[in-house]
Structure 1
């Protein structure tokens, strides 16, 4: 053990003068170049970062400043009572310090350290598929790479991907199927959609003037019943020379002058709205983007 340590130190110091350090290699090609000691599986190879519990990491909060951004450790247990820097240490795993707090290193794009899982959705200005993100344009699943096909099938998309073109995203409700589509960008209002109100309109026309006046007939006269007026004076109208016909019936060309009065008018008025039944755009003001689903690289 002592000999191995001496060899490592000698390697480190011998390369320090050249500005690069190599472990298990005499020709490092980076600031720190670690090469596997063996490749036959007889030894455990890799880099083992410091292992601390969440509480031990929190105890060193004051030691980590913005200059320590990029530091990597392995949390062997979550922190019990988190501080502002250790709030994200909720489970065992690798964490990196971003200059302000510890962030979990989850599976995802290794260049961004952003967590991503199959089925994640994002909106982007990217024009096409990229880094495991596939455009939701209703394409056939069989047109995707084999690994993406497997991820899609695991999400329930065995035939086609959903088509997000000209649609917004809606949170699932009840038994709705994920990826199902519904709704319409346009709508038409029917009578049952109208509010329960009375439309007020003006009925225009001419009625008899107020004050004393008579009424004339457009059909020759007004028939009167039970009267001696307008017949032969004996209560019989003798329009056909039969003295007994039309008993008590008379006729006058106009009514007598009546006292001051007016005539009221009631009825159903048709009030046109002036509309033509055109559909309305049901969308708010929008910004055009592409929608992608993550199916892995």
Structure 2
């Protein structure tokens, strides 16, 4: 297992093509952004936004490296411009995330799976953008991780879930082993046979799983730590023992801890010195490579 301190884009660009069966990305959720209106940005709703996007991008066919064909066959440059006008602060977030996703796709193996973990603020934009970048036929699942913990507002339905978008490099040959995944209890065990109830059921695309408990062996104190059970399902299903797993936003090192327990190799990247120190303690057998 290797831990790379430094900017994950720089590290990813040095990794070989097709080296990883699973790539997991848990980027910052962009929750603290300051919402401002760009000078000259249109008002008047979606129609005005669409007209402005067309005026900016022009009606000529797009050419060059910025053109991808995916979502409904639209030019990627046009689609990105449209979304940037609908939400003018999204452009900055996507400018950060997009090149990292493209590198993640490059290093993903032909039978590999990419998992992008986001919350409700960005996931709907990201779904459209990923369809444009990679093609809708590469989309496999939208996983909902639901939990019931923490304060609950009474001004709306409390937000207690996150979303994981799942894309495969090749829709005809990706690896998925449902039998390897830990089973979970039936919600109504009386409706199935005793044998089925004892065995448990395969998870669906809605995963009810607690957050990391405040006490217990998993807790590292890292603020955005994800529970091992969530990563275990992904790695069990989408890789085999001996396969390589990449986490470009490694944080507390949960991906590495799970990969090691399952007999996978892991490459972990983070530019936060606190995260590197947490991973050193949590993964004492990992090799920490020199920083930038």
TM-score w.r.t. length of structure 2: 0.17
Q: Which entry has the higher C-alpha Rg, 1 or 2?
A: 1
TM-score w.r.t. length of structure 1: 0.17
